[in-house]
Structure 1
Amino acid sequence: MHITADQHVRSIKFQGNHILDIPKAESVLFGGVEKLTVISNHFPCDCHIHTLIEGPFANGSILEFVTSNYCISPLEFNGRPMSDRPRLRDHRQMPGGSDSR
Structure 2
Amino acid sequence: MIINLGWKSLQKKYMTDRAVNKTFKNKVQRFMTKAILETVTDLNNGKIQFVFLFDDKKYVIELVKNHMYEDRGYICGIKRSTYMEFGPSFQPEILPYLKEYKQRYMTRAYMLG
* TM-score interval for Structure 1 and Structure 2 normalised by the shorter chain: under 0.3
> Which protein is bigger by CA-based radius of gyration?
2
Higher relative contact order (CA 8 A, sep 6+): 1
The answer to which structure has the higher helix fraction is 2
Q: TM-score, normalised by structure 2?
A: 0.25
Q: TM-score, normalised by structure 1?
A: 0.26
The answer to which structure has the higher strand fraction is 2
